Structure 1
């Protein structure tokens, strides 16, 4: 009978994932094995020849099966690291992406002292909670149309001790608001319906459609935010918004057409693409 150790099961899982077209086979195998064993990836390397008992092998095989069906690792483990912190995630929310950390970085730098900000589309709460964690002087309001997403955001707020400075509410964009904020942060749906076929199975089959797609061009929600946000931003305040790879020209045209917003800057992601716009309320 073959003796299964940390080393041998990782080697087997990597090859298994490679055959099924998984993009990061070794990394995924390590993360899932660490999850199955309730340890860290570093712990795996410190004890590579440790034998696995049958119960551990069964747990790992179950995780491998889910990943081979292209379920994202974050949904399998129930968590995702973002801006140096771990956040609970589920299939009710988008998995936080590295490019969305730009929103956090810009807000940390630009939000006025002791002010209140708004996030449109809270999801897991990763963005707004990270901002609050770095800026203990500010408060925030965040909305989402999904009740399960808001429940998850509330859980993450408790874990990261920002509940006292964050108010969550169910709403579609600005519908339930009656006051202005120093800054609005938004990562809206921006994928065009015609781009559906180029998405990975992980995204298309598992992530919430309402958080991904925004009409034929992907601009439906972005345009609503641009046109309505001036009514909810204090003079001199900011709109900080993420958008898609090919949408800069359309975003620029829309903001230019709104007389009370002035583009402050464009921020590039790690691949050199403009992904975030900062516009100031005049």
Structure 2
């Protein structure tokens, strides 16, 4: 093999190859994933050569990314609240804005609370709350068996104690079960929303209710009072333009102290209220 061919096998050359197609940051991330090395290693050893198998694996990942597959679905994991969660095409990719929901739940949760996460997906919300609140008793539900299996693996991997139940919204919750905190990040994108087209790799049923973006929120609010203890809180993530609608839902259902918290981009994102009686 010639010296020029050797040069194409270096980490530096392969990063440049990927950067031309998907950008340097993502190229380094995928190369690190392909060869099991950190970004720091790639920078410090950029003159090292790679074997053919590693290069082929890396090029396959670039092809997937170029075709629109999100990075977390390629690497199989995503960071959320400082921890890494397994993700796959059965669950949504955890997003930083959902951390706002967790932050607000942490603020209102009493000591050793009973917490319910409806529509848990990857389990990132339920597991994070279980790990962040000592003594919390956390239950998480989902209608998707595949999503629940993913969440259960995440709980085991992160050492979180969470009870999982399968079913649609309140159907998964025994009638007698009561909670101090109920959280949910339900499907809330309208089926005609232009942003939906950019989320084709994620499970459609976890993104939209197929109606108006508010139906799942209505269903959750309608059943919440029956499962909240006095003084308990319901916290809901929703779309950037749904703050007023969700506040009205909570107020109509009799919730007090209704408030909307904005996300890191300055958009309405989490609305919550308290059962006053």
**Matching residue within 261, 273, 282 for 2:267:** 273
In structure 2, the residue matched to 1:174 is 170
Q: Return the TM-score normalized by structure 1.
A: 0.92
In structure 2, the residue matched to 1:20 is none
2:195 aligned with 1:198? yes
Alpha-carbon distance in 1 for matches of 2:45, 2:12: 9
- 1:279 deviates by 0.7
In structure 1, the residue matched to 2:141 is 143
2:131 aligned with 1:133? yes
On the 8 A contact 1:255/1:263 being kept in 2, the answer is: no
Q: Which moved more, 1:91-100 or 1:170-179?
A: 170-179
Describe the superposition over 1:37-64 as per-residue Cα deviations: whole angstroms up to 9, x where unpaired: 1011122112122221211101101111
**Matching residue within 94, 97, 104 for 1:96:** 94
Q: CA RMSD in A?
A: 1.3
On the 8 A contact 2:260/2:272 being kept in 1, the answer is: yes
Alpha-carbon distance in 1 for matches of 2:73, 2:237: 23
In structure 2, the residue matched to 1:5 is 10
- After the TM superposition, which parts of structure 1 deviate over 6 Å for at least 4 consecutive aligned residues? none
- 1:200 deviates by 5.0
Q: Which moved more, 1:81-90 or 1:2-11?
A: 2-11
Alpha-carbon distance in 2 for matches of 1:257, 1:107: 22
Describe the superposition over 1:176-200 as per-residue Cα deviations: whole angstroms up to 9, x where unpaired: 32211010010000000111x4335
Alpha-carbon distance in 1 for matches of 2:233, 2:131: 20
- 1:258 deviates by 1.2
Residue correspondences, number: 269
Alpha-carbon distance in 2 for matches of 1:5, 1:81: 29
Unpaired runs of at least 5, structure 2? none
Q: State the SS of the aligned residue for 1:58.
A: helix
Unpaired runs of at least 5, structure 1? 18-24
Alpha-carbon distance in 2 for matches of 1:128, 1:268: 21
On the 8 A contact 1:194/1:216 being kept in 2, the answer is: no
Q: Return the TM-score normalized by structure 2.
A: 0.93
In structure 2, the residue matched to 1:41 is 39
Q: State the SS of the aligned residue for 2:115.
A: strand
On the 8 A contact 1:263/1:277 being kept in 2, the answer is: no
